[in-house]
Amino acid sequence: MPCERRGCARLTVLPRACRVYVESMAKLHFHYSTMNAGKSTALLQASYNYIEQGMETMLFIAALDDRAGKGRIGSRIGLSAEASMFGPDSDIFAMVAERLRGGPVHCVFVDEAQFLMEEQVWQLARVADRLGVPVMAYGLRTDFRGRLFPGSEALLAIADELREVRTICRCGRKATMVVRLGPDGKVLHQGAQIVIGAAQYVSLCRRHWEEEMGRMPAEDMVGFARL
């Protein structure tokens, strides 16, 4: 039987030499950015590209993120898809392995990957290393305080490939940070790391983030600091 090199699924019917080749292609990818950079849109488009070629994908979304509905990944431009949910105690490796028993999976996609636990990031690595399925994780790098999320920290440490999904600050520079706004529209300097739903976020470059967080004096009249 010929080796299906276009896919990266664990196909147990393949000869061992072919399985080794297929599994060696699988990697753990981390696509990171700040808020409103189009991560979910990119994920859904990438999954669709697989499906369009007759391949199977498996999507995951954090259970605490129900903005598009429970068990759905949604984008700001209206795209959405059903996804398996993961919580802090979910064994993602076992979930993928169970799905593989019913047929091939050519790629695993994880949205809101910053909410993964460190052990779950290692589970994703094992999906690539031991099941031969590539994993594409999409998430925030830092929170509104400029601190790494646990899941993002682990992904930055062990992912095979890192890719920044870019958006821009109000000044035109690349946005790498995010601020959280309160109900009055003012920047919040403290609060829980994770707030889903009602919170409003704005992506900024590092310079303007420092000004909005009060770490440096504001040097322009644009933004929230002087309102």
CATH architecture for the domain at 168-227? 2-Layer Sandwich (3.30)
Helix or strand or coil: residue 187?
strand
What is the pLDDT, as a whole number, of residue 83?
Answer: 94
Q: Where in the chain is the domain with CATH 3.30.60?
A: 168-227
What is the pLDDT, as a whole number, of residue 190?
Answer: 78
Helix or strand or coil: residue 172?
coil
Q: Is the dihedral of CA 3, 7, 13, 19 positive or negative?
A: positive
How confident is the model over 158-209, as pLDDT tens digits?
Answer: 999 999 999 999 899 999 999 888 888 888 887 766 666 556 888 999 999 9
**Beta strand spans in 18-134 (E):** 28-33, 57-62, 72-74, 80-82, 84-86, 107-110
CATH architecture for the domain at 16-165? 3-Layer(aba) Sandwich (3.40)
φ, ψ for residue 144, nearest 5 deg: -70, -15
Select the more confidently predicted residue: 202 or 217: 202
What is the pLDDT, as a whole number, of residue 106?
Answer: 97
Q: Where in the chain is the domain with CATH 3.40.50.300?
A: 16-165
Q: Is the dihedral of CA 173, 174, 179, 183 positive or negative?
A: positive
Average pLDDT over residues 54-72: 87
- Amino acid identity of residue 55, one-letter, is M
How confident is the model over 20-54, as pLDDT tens digits?
Answer: 444 558 999 999 988 878 888 999 999 999 999 99
What is the pLDDT, as a whole number, of residue 13?
Answer: 38
The catalytic residue among 112, 164, 210, 219 is: 112
52 catalytic? Reply is no
Q: What is the rounded CA–CA span in Å between residue 178 and residue 57?
A: 31
> pTM for the complete prediction?
0.80
Mean pLDDT (the chain) is 84
